[in-house]
Structure 1
Amino acid sequence: MTQAVVVLPVYQPGERLVELVTDLRAVTPHTPVVVVDDGSDASSARLLRRVSDLGCTLRRLDCNRGKGSALKEGYQYVLRAHPGRDVVSADADGQHRAPDILHLAERVRDSRAIVLGVRRFDGDVPLRRRIGNALTRTLFKISTGVTATDTQTGLRAYPHELVRWLLTIPGERFDYEMAVLVAAARNRCPIEQVTVPTRYLDGNASSHFGMIIDSVRTYRPLLMPGEKPIQEVDPCYDP
């Protein structure tokens, strides 16, 4: 159904990881799924074995290094094992559904742009998420001149031409995804936004995002100077 590889960074995952992988396998059994464990403790071993038994490739970091490090580990694996394939990264805590992941895989295949699965910040959304998104959306517009509905979404698709470039972007934790988006916008890389359902299960209790420390890290890329141009990394990419 798709030529993309799905990358799922996880830390202390719960049953929703198994549910997501099961749903993906039911719809598209041959799509490669790479689960990157960001140094979870022994209590997660049984669950990780279950997703491995479902046909996922399991990559493990030796300690908790952060979401950015886990994503980079996944992207490095894709370059080695699946060269020339697009990548869709998603959170595995119940926020993202298998149909939305596969929809982004189809969009990136057709558009060759970075595709963001953006949420609507209305309805039953935690107040801190509403405020945080409004602030980062405003700062992002000031910093890059680009309007992005949801700058902090973890559901993103990247054309294969950009996978190697993703590894050059600084950031090891939650700041990494913001840094990628800022660098792409400043380089005038095409960015497409696709609305997906907003799902905050149990008040988003499964999130490992630290409100103060990780917020500071996330805002930092918005204040940094321009990044290395995409053309210097992959001259074949011509938006």
Structure 2
Amino acid sequence: MTQTVVVLPVYQPGERLVELVSDLRTSTAHMPVVVVDDGSGTDSAHLLRRVRDLGCTLRRLDRHRGKGSALKEGYQYVLRAHPEKDVVCADADGQHRASDILRLAERVRDTRSIVLGVRRFDGDVPLRSRVGNTITRALFKATTGVTASDTQTGLRAYPHELVRWLLTIPGERFDYEMAVLVAAARNRCPIEQVTIPTRYLDGNASSHFGTLIDSVRTYRPLLMPAELPLRNSPCPNNH
């Protein structure tokens, strides 16, 4: 499992970041962890020092640029420091556990495909999350012809052969993750799905997703897919 790096983009994180990093660092997998601070400011400095002291790598953006920018900073670091390692990206707000991350790391190692940690959306799910996923899932299917049960998941794994390609996908904020999925589907990259528990803590109060502006950005790759790069066989097992 040491062939995997975990990238955690964070903005104004809470204690759950420390809990997740601690669980990952004490797991049997011993995976390197890269925390990318998206310009959180001084209020989060003590938490970021704590995760750095736990042995993870801390990268910082000079100001709040968006989740896409934070992910790209993480990918650039992985290319320099761990060029032959697969990548698992996760949210650090309590939705994703170390056990979820380990499962995706195993699946990407075995399949060499993009792997999504998909939620069942059962139980006590906030209405905007349930409705939002239903709409984007339908648009994604209509745009790409590919079925993905959770297009908005932040838990994703990529084989190391794709990391450089990820940096070519446009998008700086929440639109970036949707753009990656649309570009992958256009390039006929195999997409695997692993079911994970659905966890929303405190009504998803820790989410920084803005209802209107971020929704518009997210839908842009679905409505204008031709803007995304189309390259032959960027995926290692694409035939």
Coarse TM-score class (shorter-chain normalised): over 0.9
CA distance in 2, matches of 1:230, 1:118: 26
Q: Secondary structure at the match of 2:52?
A: helix
Q: Secondary structure at the match of 2:70?
A: helix
CA distance in 2, matches of 1:213, 1:2: 39
Q: Secondary structure at the match of 1:132?
A: helix
User: In the alignment, what sits opposite 2:140?
Assistant: 140
Does residue 228 (structure 1) correspond to residue 229 (structure 2)? The answer is yes
Give 1:225 shift: 3.2
What is the TM-score of this pair, normalised by structure 1? Answer: 0.96
User: Counterpart of 1:78 in structure 2: which amino acid?
Assistant: V
CA distance in 1, matches of 2:29, 2:20: 13
User: In the alignment, what sits opposite 1:51?
Assistant: 51
Give 1:2 shift: 3.6
User: Counterpart of 2:51 in structure 1: which amino acid?
Assistant: V
Does residue 131 (structure 1) correspond to residue 131 (structure 2)? The answer is yes
User: In the alignment, what sits opposite 1:167?
Assistant: 167
Does residue 24 (structure 1) correspond to residue 19 (structure 2)? The answer is no
Tell me how large the CA RMSD over aligned residues is: 1.2
Q: Secondary structure at the match of 1:62?
A: coil
User: In the alignment, what sits opposite 2:207?
Assistant: 207
Q: Secondary structure at the match of 1:231?
A: coil
* Contact 1:38–1:66 under 8 Å retained in 2: yes
CA distance in 2, matches of 1:71, 1:4: 16
User: In the alignment, what sits opposite 2:236?
Assistant: 237
CA distance in 2, matches of 1:182, 1:225: 7
Deviations 1:24-71 (A, max 9, x none): 112136311000000011011111000000000000000000000000
User: In the alignment, what sits opposite 1:216?
Assistant: 216
Does residue 38 (structure 1) correspond to residue 31 (structure 2)? The answer is no
Q: Secondary structure at the match of 1:172?
A: coil
* Contact 1:165–1:230 under 8 Å retained in 2: no
Identity among equivalent pairs (%) = 82
Q: How many residues align?
A: 237
User: In the alignment, what sits opposite 1:61?
Assistant: 61
What is the TM-score of this pair, normalised by structure 2? Answer: 0.96
223-232 or 72-81, which deviates more: 223-232
26-35 or 67-76, which deviates more: 26-35
Deviations 1:67-94 (A, max 9, x none): 0000000000000000111000000000
CA distance in 2, matches of 1:119, 1:79: 29
Tell me, which stretches of 5 or more residues in structure 1 are unaligned? none
User: Counterpart of 2:113 in structure 1: which amino acid?
Assistant: A
CA distance in 2, matches of 1:121, 1:31: 29
* Contact 2:24–2:30 under 8 Å retained in 1: no
Q: Secondary structure at the match of 2:225?
A: coil
Q: Secondary structure at the match of 2:161?
A: helix
* Contact 1:65–1:173 under 8 Å retained in 2: yes
CA distance in 2, matches of 1:89, 1:23: 15
* Contact 1:7–1:71 under 8 Å retained in 2: yes
Q: Secondary structure at the match of 1:168?
A: coil
Give 1:200 shift: 0.2
* Contact 2:2–2:29 under 8 Å retained in 1: no
Give 1:122 shift: 1.6
CA distance in 1, matches of 2:29, 2:2: 10
22-31 or 2-11, which deviates more: 22-31
Tell me, which stretches of 5 or more residues in structure 2 are unaligned? none
* Contact 1:4–1:86 under 8 Å retained in 2: yes
